[in-house]
Amino acid sequence: METRVITEEINNNISSYFDNAVANMTPEQRLEAKQFAINADKPLEILSNIYSDPDKLTVNSNAWLKITNILYGLIIFAVIATLLLTILYVCKIHDFPFSEILKENIVLFTAVGIIEVVFFLKIGLHYIPTMPSAIISDTLSDLRAKLG
């Protein structure tokens, strides 16, 4: 839906601009503009080929990020376990309401998870992002159509 609206807006603006511009061109200018429109996709194709494969640095960063997140989770678990064992055995506080805190956190995280799932299902799935190349592609195709 978003792509359609943006494409219509772009096409309307391009059409009104190019109609006036093409009408005021000399035959030489039309030929030059037509050659430009034909060859304008070449740099985009080259860039698309260059960036189609993931960068090695990005792949390494993503792998390191996964490992780091797992380590953070393990560290947090170890800290909580250490605190609980310290409270139970060193401080000798046996009536610590750990189960109540755990239940509250489970309920809270479940509620947040349900809200996120509902948001994604009701809103996120209906959003169709517009590709960055949509504007350039529409401009070039309209230019080619106007110049014949």
Instruction: Read off the pLDDT of each residue in 79-89 and give the average, rounded to a whole number.
Output: 91
All structural domains of the chain with their residue ranges = 2-54+97-147
With b for 16 or more beta-carbon neighbours within 10 A and e for fewer, the 82-104 pattern comes to: eeeeeeeeeeeeeeeeeeeeeee
- Each residue's pLDDT tens digit, 92-120: 888 888 889 889 999 999 999 999 999 99
- Each residue's pLDDT tens digit, 20-60: 777 788 888 888 877 777 777 777 778 778 778 888 888 89
Q: What angle do CA 135, 140, 141 make, to 5 degrees?
A: 100
Residue 2 banded pLDDT, cuts 50, 70, 90: low
DSSP class per residue in 44-95:
HHHHHHHTSSPPHHHHHHHHHHHHHHHHHHHHHHHHHHHHHHIIIIIS----
pTM of the model: 0.43
The reported pLDDT for the residue numbered 72 is 98
- Across the chain, mean pLDDT equals 83
**Can you read off the two tokens belonging to residue 85?**
């064992």
